[in-house]
């Protein structure tokens, strides 16, 4: 069973600060990595995808990938109260016909006004 590990939190940051969310994975050959945001009572929505080592920026969000360390992170700059949600890390398997997408348990983020 491929594993995806996240700190469950909760993580609290003040408005305007940088929130840093971390994720590690066990399948060394994984190639595709995703961050989903899930508001309470809602379904997950994709906010970032990353496929190669390094940083990928999209607005206030930056995803960072280090395949050697099997580590992926999400930075949220200028955090807003509307960013308060659970952030799910997901990793796509490289083996098997299904190319299964496995989710971590999520990190709950609260941005304090």
Partner 1 sequence: EAGVAQSPRYKIIEKRQSVAFWCNPISGHATLYWYQQILGQGPKLLIQFQNNGVVDDSQLPKDRFSAERLKGVDSTLKIQPAKLEDSAVYLCASSFDRTGELFFGEGSRLTVL
The yes or no reply on residue 99 touching partner 1 (CB under 8 A) is yes
Which of 3, 14, 26, 46 is close enough to bind partner 1 by CB under 8 A?
46
Burial of 97 (0-12, 13-18, 19+ CB in 10 A): exposed
Which residue, 8 or 15, has its beta carbon nearer to partner 1? 8
Which of 39, 42, 53, 66 is close enough to bind partner 1 by CB under 8 A?
42
Give the footprint of partner 1 on residues 2-41 (CB under 8 A): 4, 6, 32, 34
C-beta of residue 15 within 8 angstroms of C-beta of residue 80:
yes
* CA–CA dist 25, 75 (Å, integer): 18
Which residue, 47 or 111, has its beta carbon nearer to partner 1? 47
Which residue, 36 or 111, has its beta carbon nearer to partner 1? 36
Q: Kindly report the backbone phi and psi dihedral angles of residue 36, in degrees, each rounded to the nearest multiple of 5, phi listed first.
A: -115, 145
């Amino acid at each position: 069973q491929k594993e995806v590990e996240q700190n469950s939190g909760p993580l609290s940051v003040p408005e305007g600060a940088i929130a840093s969310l971390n994720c590690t994975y066990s399948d060394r050959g994984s190639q595709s990595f995703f961050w989903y945001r899930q508001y309470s009572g809602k379904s997950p929505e994709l906010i970032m995808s990353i496929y190669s080592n390094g940083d990928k920026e999209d607005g206030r969000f930056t995803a960072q990938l280090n395949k050697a360390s099997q580590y992926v992170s999400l930075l949220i700059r200028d955090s807003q109260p509307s960013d308060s949600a659970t952030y799910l890390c997901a990793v796509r398997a490289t083996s098997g016909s299904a190319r299964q997408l496995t989710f971590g348990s999520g990190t709950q983020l609260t941005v304090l006004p």
